Structure 1
């Protein structure tokens, strides 16, 4: 087992109530391609590095993920509100039942140019050290 699904579940559980009124819950999901409708928040796991073992048969790993914020090109206010809300919602590690967070690095947000100029795209980087029982 890798901890990425538990990580994604915990982050999504923190984002859905925080983004109420800004992004439909069904548009806060995992994915790697640009969404068909906006606004949306897509999470992709960009790296899992197993760093060792811990007491009690646990495994320790470094996880890195990206939250991709998508909004209509002509709605910068909504995009910025979504980005700011995400930063507040994941300032600290979310609650999780299947994994324990040993470290949670503060998120960072960068806005990325959309070559087609049809959407606003922001990327929030997440990084954590987690452990779980094998």
Structure 2
């Protein structure tokens, strides 16, 4: 399995397993996707990038970046920022991505609130992982 897919599955499983987060966003509304959603509130796991860090005869190490888009229907950003904060809280404990060792786990590296032309709340949470795959 590709490293960005493995970490995305681990992130998804963690988010849908967080009662505090699913109190704000239904688990069925936390999924893969990269466009403005039809239903609100929701979280879209999108915009993955994988960068090769190094390889040996037995392993491949990569750095994976993924953006999580937190959407709310209200034009104000407070609700969307509250969802983003619960995402951050849910991702503070170590993750397990089968087939990979995570170096020091992974990090929520930041979030940014962006204005949407249709006045939806939209916050992008960025995460980064260092991963080694045994070949």
Q: Same fold (TM over 0.5)?
A: yes
* 8 Å contact kept, 1:48–1:61: yes
- 1:52-131 equivalences under 5 Å are 52-54=54-56, 57-74=58-75, 76-103=77-104, 104-117=106-119, 119-131=120-132
Q: Secondary structure at the match of 1:86?
A: helix
CA deviation profile, 1:66-120 (whole Å, cap 9, x unmatched): 0000001256553232111111111344222222111423331111001121x10
Query: Is 1:34 aligned to 2:36, yes or no?
Result: yes
| Structure 2: stretches of 5+ with no match in the other structure | none
How many residues matched?
132
Q: Distance in 2 between matches of 1:74 and 1:47?
A: 29
Q: Among residues 49, 52, 68, which one is paired with 2:51 in the alignment?
A: 49
CA deviation profile, 1:9-38 (whole Å, cap 9, x unmatched): 100111112222211112111111111000
RMSD of aligned alpha carbons: 1.9
State the shift of 1:44 in Å.
1.2
Q: Distance in 2 between matches of 1:23 and 1:98?
A: 29
Runs of 4+, deviation exceeding 3 Å: 74-78
* 8 Å contact kept, 1:91–1:107: no
| Structure 1: stretches of 5+ with no match in the other structure | none
* 8 Å contact kept, 1:41–1:70: yes
